[in-house]
């Protein structure tokens, strides 16, 4: 697959403008502007300014590979396992991607989410191993190899199966290697050196064991199903191997004589419909009596309305399927009538006096085709009152003696034909489904009737099996089989793909028995083989099925469907809607078809006794099979002499048919739990059932579904405790990504331009329960969020350069502002842990970005800059703040580590470098619940309201150019609401509002004072701060100048300078 050319995103012009403004400040002429007034001493060297090498710009695309290398070298995955070996297990079981092609954005989303789960569970205190896997068998890989053959002019059928399979294996191996590197680049941590592959020998052996377990417990049976079949190539074809071309088909209209009727139902209807009754009375009884009809009378009328000589007319484009007819379908949504032919040419197939049942909308058209001159409509017909017809070929060649039931089927319309659909379950998928549905309903109705003896039940089931059997009318060579009596030797399609004589012979036989109404030809689009370009047919083919509704090992009611539905109830779904979706699918689905007539897969390792058709159930044989697969892979099945090798001395190979079909690959992947989660030797850190399966929502029909059925069949319960589904990745407008639209986004490109952490942050901040959007603007939003986050952490790191563990301040000794921050940390701790447990990553991103932006960057950090930068070494406030910064650092790096795996490692190593050091070896830190203090938080909510009013007042001053920095102000605050006064008691509002001074008074404000609409009882009157500007702290204070040693700074700053000198930090200016 070719990757689209990476888009070099054009910078947003507005973004550029902002950048230009910032750059202006650095130009020399800009400096002259600000350099008015007396030169101030530059005290910056005497401040505790942030010091860090941590770059503002991440350079993720270049730097991420370095961390990956580091983790690989230190074997971080192994260290995690070792560290967590005594902890409870959490197992996210990997749904295997298919090993062909590069990964796309959907893979990236899926693997990233799994990594978020796995890493967060590890940090929450579990031993959370992650073993990635690949799905290796299957048709797409076969195709690729066949394509290579065709390019070389080689014929697949001439290559020994084992050799062909070897080429498929090599192909899959190559893609496993490529995808493995792509997945690792996303930052996904897992057992990459020891993944599982559905084609590894132990897997193939276990898949066969599972299949044999299904067989020996009586859940496997051989039935049949129509599949697309190419007579020319003698092979089944997949939908993708089909192309549609125009084709001329013979069409025929055929009479099906009505056989069994439900006359009393017709009579009931007549009695309930007065208008009909009136019409009937005029017609049949000469005069109308003013009384309800008796049952007898209505029965007489019914006989006239649904007479025994009526004929249902069908239309078909495949006359050759008539011998395979087993039913006639109609629709309850279509109106039908009984018609009598009143005028037609002599010798016409449709002759005068014949009564046809047709859809009203199509009657005229049908009679036109039948060259009928005149006809009359006699009555309404409800086809459900016809129980069965006889076959139009009844007795032909001694066959076709069965009843042909009428089936109400959804797929029938009155758009074309006659409103009745000839139903041949051997030759059409809809026919097949309608047929099975009909018998399923009959069987259900029977099961629901009360008072049935076991003998009656057995008799019913056996009759049912006989009636429901689907005939094999056409062989793989296109010739009729002996299940089409009277047509021996006729052929549907010949070796060159031309029409055989089947149609003509069928039409002749029908005409001879007066079953034809009309014939014609029609041009329509018809399926052809992609390879030979010749028409294909739907053909009944033997297939292996798993029963959905048979009692397993004789336990009444213990069916696979029942087990699966129970298992769904016992499973937790994220989001909850997934439960209904899966339940509906399981409740409706037909029996599971396991067989595929293909080469690259695990064979259905079953022997069938030729005379009895029984499946051989012998543990010794089964053991030999599994053993050989362990040693040689499933290829062993295809090696010469394999049959006798497995059957041993006990059986003769000649008595048994060795099945050569392979398993549906869904059985492979549905079995992963058995060969991965329960292989304790290979993966000791995994548990069964898995804690979680996590895939895209398409896997309700796929892996969730097949794994559930497989495990219910072999274990009786689900292989998972929880199921998490995510949506699909759409483009920026919510449209599906497709190569033809050119709106795809390749994960490789995002990584190259922005880095994997950006991709991961996008995943974490999206709502994965719905479809996710990804486009240029969304990536930019993510990049912006990342930058803000990174800078906040950078400032934290810069200040922590001055942190000393020995300066730690005890919680009780801290100022309230510090206690407030720790309270928030304790709150967040609970919220973050809960969100991680619920796989709610976007909540974590929202919670933490809001906290970091609003409460840290814009509030706490802004306020504490003064103390952190300027306070004396001895200052408790400064030490307390540093203590809080350390806690913030410890928590934030851990909480974000599962998401920003690279950046958090970078932040961690900046402070704690060392060979064995890694943020990913940590757990979420214990946060003391003693820090929680709701009263304090409530109090500070009030204080922050006061602060907002002050800030608002200052903004007016700024706008009026009376102040620039807030430190130039010393506003007066008038408070009439007691609650605010109480809250402010003992707090330094000037510090909190970042002004040089402030006055707070319990008094009515003068007119014109600044207020906010949503805060009552507070008013602010602005004023300039009195005193001189401190050259060190830039506050405007009256005490500046009162220290003789440092006349240009405030007393606090003079003290700070003295302490620094005493500590020998730097010489004084």
Partner RNA sequence: UGGCCCGUAGCUCAGUUGGUUAGAGCGCACGCCUGAUAAGCGUGAGGUCGGCAGUUCGAGUCUGCCCGGGCCAACCA
918-957 residues in contact with RNA (CB under 7 A) are 948, 951-952, 955
SS3 state at 724 = strand
846 binds RNA per the rule CB under 7 A: yes
Residue 749 CB-half CA count within 13 A: 17
Q: How far is the CB of 778 from RNA (least distance, A)?
A: 4
Q: How far is the CB of 509 from RNA (least distance, A)?
A: 29
677-706 residues in contact with RNA (CB under 7 A) are 697-698, 700-702
| Nearest CB to RNA, comparing residues 394 and 794 | 794
CA 904 from chain centre, in angstroms, equals: 29
| Nearest CB to RNA, comparing residues 784 and 1066 | 784
836 binds RNA per the rule CB under 7 A: no
| Nearest CB to RNA, comparing residues 801 and 937 | 801
Q: How far is the CB of 293 from RNA (least distance, A)?
A: 39
* E-state strands within 506-652: 516-529, 537-546, 572-574, 592-593, 595-596, 607-609
User: Do 205 and 528 touch, CB atoms closer than 8 A?
Assistant: no
Q: According to DSSP H, which parts of 838-933 are helical?
A: 841-850, 861-870, 876-896, 901-911
Per CB under 7 A, which region of 326-334, 370-378, 478-486, 789-797 contacts RNA?
A: 789-797
Q: How far is the CB of 39 from RNA (least distance, A)?
A: 12
SS3 state at 236 = strand
Per CB under 7 A, which region of 61-69, 116-124, 443-451, 842-850 contacts RNA?
A: 842-850
User: Do 884 and 42 touch, CB atoms closer than 8 A?
Assistant: no
What is the rounded CA–CA span in Å between residue 356 and residue 309? 9
Q: How far is the CB of 655 from RNA (least distance, A)?
A: 26
743 binds RNA per the rule CB under 7 A: no
Q: Return all residues near 941 (Cβ < 8 A) that are at least 6 apart.
A: none
663 binds RNA per the rule CB under 7 A: no
Nearest CA among 992, 1020, 995 for reference residue 1006: 1020
219-238 residues in contact with RNA (CB under 7 A) are 227, 236-238
523-552 residues in contact with RNA (CB under 7 A) are 541, 543
85-124 residues in contact with RNA (CB under 7 A) are 96-98
User: Do 630 and 623 touch, CB atoms closer than 8 A?
Assistant: no
Among 7, 9, 19, 609, binds RNA (CB under 7 A): 19
DSSP classification of residue 860:
I
What is the rounded CA–CA span in Å between residue 392 and residue 509? 9
Q: How far is the CB of 761 from RNA (least distance, A)?
A: 10
Nearest CA among 244, 301, 227, 828 for reference residue 540: 227
Which residues is 694 bridged to in the sheet? 724
Among 437, 771, 808, 1039, binds RNA (CB under 7 A): 771
- Count the site residues for RNA by CB under 7 A: 106
Per CB under 7 A, which region of 18-26, 67-75, 414-422, 684-692 contacts RNA?
A: 18-26
Q: How far is the CB of 961 from RNA (least distance, A)?
A: 7
DSSP classification of residue 675:
I
- The token pair at 403 is 């009843």
Q: Which residue has the tokens 């002499």?
A: 641
Nearest CA among 902, 655, 887, 642 for reference residue 761: 902
| Nearest CB to RNA, comparing residues 120 and 251 | 120
Nearest CA among 822, 907, 827 for reference residue 856: 822
| Nearest CB to RNA, comparing residues 268 and 433 | 433
| Nearest CB to RNA, comparing residues 140 and 925 | 140
Q: How far is the CB of 37 from RNA (least distance, A)?
A: 11
Q: How far is the CB of 1037 from RNA (least distance, A)?
A: 13
Peptide bond into 575 cis (omega under 30): yes
| Nearest CB to RNA, comparing residues 242 and 932 | 242
| Nearest CB to RNA, comparing residues 396 and 666 | 666
- The token pair at 496 is 């060159």
Q: How far is the CB of 597 from RNA (least distance, A)?
A: 4
- The token pair at 954 is 């200052």
- Strand 972-975 and strand 999-1001: the pairing is parallel
What is the rounded CA–CA span in Å between residue 106 and residue 306? 59
Radius of gyration of the chain (CA): 41
DSSP classification of residue 697:
G
448 binds RNA per the rule CB under 7 A: no
Residues 993-1032 vs RNA: string with x where CB under 7 A?
A: --------------------------------------xx
- The token pair at 555 is 């336990």
| Nearest CB to RNA, comparing residues 95 and 815 | 95
Among 283, 777, 978, 1004, binds RNA (CB under 7 A): 777
First to last CA, the chain: 68
Q: How far is the CB of 426 from RNA (least distance, A)?
A: 13
963-982 residues in contact with RNA (CB under 7 A) are 964-965
1042 binds RNA per the rule CB under 7 A: no
851-910 residues in contact with RNA (CB under 7 A) are 853-854, 857-859, 861-862, 865, 869-870
121-180 residues in contact with RNA (CB under 7 A) are 135, 137-140
Q: How far is the CB of 1051 from RNA (least distance, A)?
A: 16
- The token pair at 495 is 């070796």
568-607 residues in contact with RNA (CB under 7 A) are 577, 580-581, 584-585, 596-598
Among 922, 958, 962, 1058, binds RNA (CB under 7 A): 958
Among 259, 770, 808, 1059, binds RNA (CB under 7 A): 770
Per CB under 7 A, which region of 16-24, 307-315, 902-910, 1038-1046 contacts RNA?
A: 16-24
798 binds RNA per the rule CB under 7 A: yes
Q: How far is the CB of 92 from RNA (least distance, A)?
A: 18
| Nearest CB to RNA, comparing residues 452 and 584 | 584
| Nearest CB to RNA, comparing residues 241 and 1043 | 241
Among 3, 9, 18, 525, binds RNA (CB under 7 A): 18
What is the rounded CA–CA span in Å between residue 326 and residue 464? 14
CA 428 from chain centre, in angstroms, equals: 31
313-372 residues in contact with RNA (CB under 7 A) are none
| Nearest CB to RNA, comparing residues 138 and 392 | 138
Centre a 10 Å sphere on the Cβ of residue 961 and count the other Cβ atoms it contains.
Answer: 7
Per CB under 7 A, which region of 300-308, 622-630, 664-672, 1057-1065 contacts RNA?
A: 664-672
Which residues is 730 bridged to in the sheet? 736, 773
User: Do 607 and 656 touch, CB atoms closer than 8 A?
Assistant: yes
Q: How far is the CB of 581 from RNA (least distance, A)?
A: 4
Among 64, 202, 241, 757, binds RNA (CB under 7 A): 241
User: Do 226 and 427 touch, CB atoms closer than 8 A?
Assistant: yes
* Helix (H) or strand (E) segment spanning residue 1012: strand 1010-1012
User: Do 836 and 894 touch, CB atoms closer than 8 A?
Assistant: no
| Nearest CB to RNA, comparing residues 191 and 241 | 241
What is the rounded CA–CA span in Å between residue 791 and residue 805? 24
34 binds RNA per the rule CB under 7 A: yes
Q: At what angle do helices 60-74 and 756-765 cross, to 10 degrees?
A: 90
Burial code (b: 16+ CB inside 10 Å, e: under 16) for 914-927 equals eeeebbbbbebeeb
Q: How far is the CB of 494 from RNA (least distance, A)?
A: 21
């Amino acid at each position: 697959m070719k990757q689209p050319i990476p888009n070099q995103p054009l910078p947003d012009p507005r973004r550029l403008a902002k950048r230009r403004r910032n750059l202006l400040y650095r130009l020399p002429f800009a400096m002259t502007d600000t350099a008015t007034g007396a030169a101030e001493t530059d005290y910056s060297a005497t401040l505790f300014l942030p010091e860090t090498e941590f770059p503002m710009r991440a350079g993720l695309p270049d730097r991420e590979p370095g961390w990956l290398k580091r983790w690989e070298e230190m074997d971080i995955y192994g260290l995690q396992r070792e560290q967590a070996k005594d902890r409870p297990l959490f197992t996210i079981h990997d749904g295997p991607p298919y090993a062909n092609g590069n990964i796309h954005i959907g893979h990236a989303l899926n693997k990233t989410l799994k990594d978020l789960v796995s890493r967060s569970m590890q940090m929450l205190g579990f031993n959370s191993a992650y073993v990635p896997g690949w799905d290796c068998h299957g048709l797409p890989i076969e195709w690729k190899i066949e394509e290579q053959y065709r390019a070389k002019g080689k014929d697949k059928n001439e290559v020994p199966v084992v050799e062909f399979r070897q080429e498929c294996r090599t192909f899959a191996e190559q893609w496993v290697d490529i995808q493995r590197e792509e997945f690792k680049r996303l930052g996904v941590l897992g057992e990459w050196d020891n993944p599982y592959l559905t084609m590894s020998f132990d897997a193939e052996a276990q898949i066969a064991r599972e299949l044999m377990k299904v067989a020996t417990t009586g859940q496997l049976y051989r039935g049949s199903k129509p599949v697309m079949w190419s007579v020319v190539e003698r092979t089944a074809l997949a939908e993708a191997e089909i192309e549609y071309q125009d084709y001329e088909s013979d069409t025929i209209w055929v009479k099906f004589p009505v056989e069994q009727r439900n006359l009393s139902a017709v009579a009931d209807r007549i009695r309930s419909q007065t208008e009909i009754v009136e019409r009937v009375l005029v017609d049949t009884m000469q005069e109308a009596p003013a009384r309800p009809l008796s049952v007898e009378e209505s029965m007489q009328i019914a006989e006239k309305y649904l007479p025994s000589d009526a004929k249902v007319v069908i239309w078909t484009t495949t006359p050759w399927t008539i011998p395979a007819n087993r039913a006639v379908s109609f629709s309850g949504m279509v109106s039908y009538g009984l018609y009598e032919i009143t005028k037609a040419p002599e010798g016409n197939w449709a002759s005068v006096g014949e009564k046809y049942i047709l859809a009203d909308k199509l009657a005229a058209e049908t009679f036109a085709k039948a060259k009928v001159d005149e006809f009359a409509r006699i009555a309404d017909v409800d086809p459900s009152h016809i129980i069965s017809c006889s076959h139009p070929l009844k007795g032909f060649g001694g066959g076709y003696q069965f009843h042909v039931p009428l089936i109400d089927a959804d797929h029938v319309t009155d758009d074309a034909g006659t409103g009745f659909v000839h139903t041949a379950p051997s030759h059409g998928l809809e026919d097949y489904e309608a047929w099975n549905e009909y018998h399923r309903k009959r069987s259900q109705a029977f099961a629901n009737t009360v008072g049935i003896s076991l003998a009656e039940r057995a008799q019913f089931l056996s009759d049912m099996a006989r009636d429901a059997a689907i005939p094999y009318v056409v062989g793989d060579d296109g010739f009729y089989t002996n299940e089409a009596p009277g047509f021996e030797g006729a052929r549907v399609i010949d070796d060159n793909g031309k029409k055989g004589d089947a149609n003509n012979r069928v039409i002749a036989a029908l005409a001879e028995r007066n079953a034809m109404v009309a014939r014609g030809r029609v041009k329509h689009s018809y399926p052809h083989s992609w390879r030979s370009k010749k028409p294909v047919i739907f053909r009944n083919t033997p297939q292996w099925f798993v029963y959905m509704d048979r009692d397993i090992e004789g336990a009444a009611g213990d069916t696979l469907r029942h087990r699966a539905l129970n298992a769904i109830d016992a499973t937790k779904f994220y989001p909850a809607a997934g439960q209904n979706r899966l339940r509906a699918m399981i409740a409706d689905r037909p029996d599971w078809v396991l067989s595929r007539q293909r080469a690259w897969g695990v064979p259905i390792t079953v022997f069938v006794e030729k005379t009895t058709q029984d499946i051989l159930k012998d543990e010794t044989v089964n053991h030999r099979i599994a053993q050989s697969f362990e040693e040689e892979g499933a290829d062993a099945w295809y090696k010469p002499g394999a049959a006798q090798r497995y059957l041993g001395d006990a059986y003769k190979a000649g008595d048994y048919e060795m099945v050569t079909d392979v398993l549906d690959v869904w059985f492979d992947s549905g079995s992963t739990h058995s060969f991965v989660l329960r292989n304790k030797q290979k993966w000791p850190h995994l548990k069964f059932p898995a804690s979680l399966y996590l895939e895209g929502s398409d896997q309700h029909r796929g892996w969730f579904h097949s794994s559930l059925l497989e495990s219910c069949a072999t274990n009786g319960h689900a292989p998972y405790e929880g199921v998490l589904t995510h949506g699909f990745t759409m483009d920026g407008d919510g449209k599906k990504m497709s190569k033809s639209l050119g709106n795809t986004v390749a994960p490789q490109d995002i990584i190259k331009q922005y880095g994997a952490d950006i991709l991961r942050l996008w995943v974490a901040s999206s709502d994965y329960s719905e479809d996710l959007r990804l486009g240029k603007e969304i990536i930019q939003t993510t990049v912006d969020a990342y930058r803000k986050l990174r800078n906040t952490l950078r400032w934290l790191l810069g200040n922590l350069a001055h942190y000393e563990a020995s300066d730690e301040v005890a919680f009780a000794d801290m100022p309230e502002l510090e206690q407030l921050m720790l309270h928030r940390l304790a709150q967040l701790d609970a919220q973050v842990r809960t969100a991680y447990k619920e796989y709610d990553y976007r909540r974590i991103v929202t919670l933490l970005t809001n906290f970091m932006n609003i409460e840290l960057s814009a509030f706490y950090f802004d306020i504490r800059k003064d103390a952190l930068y300027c306070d004396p070494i001895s200052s408790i406030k400064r030490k307390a703040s540093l203590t809080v910064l350390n806690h913030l650092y410890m928590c934030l790096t851990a909480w974000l580590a599962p998401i920003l795996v690279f950046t958090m490692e970078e932040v961690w190593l900046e402070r704690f470098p060392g060979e064995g050091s890694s943020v990913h070896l940590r757990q979420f830190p214990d946060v003391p619940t003693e820090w929680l203090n709701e009263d304090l938080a409530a109090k500070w909510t009030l204080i922050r309201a006061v602060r907002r009013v002050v800030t608002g007042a200052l903004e007016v001053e700024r706008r009026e150019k009376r102040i620039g920095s807030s430190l130039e102000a010393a506003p007066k605050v008038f408070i009439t609401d007691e609650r605010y006064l109480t809250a402010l008691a003992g707090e330094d509002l000037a510090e909190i509002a970042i002004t040089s001074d402030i006055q707070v008074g319990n008094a009515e404000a003068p007119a014109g004072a600044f207020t906010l609409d949503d805060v009552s009882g507070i008013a602010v009157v602005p004023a300039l701060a009195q005193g001189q500007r401190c050259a060190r702290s830039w506050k405007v204070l009256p005490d500046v100048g009162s220290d003789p040693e440092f006349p240009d700074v405030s007393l606090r700053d003079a003290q700070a300078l003295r302490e620094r000198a005493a500590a020998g930090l730097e010489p004084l200016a």
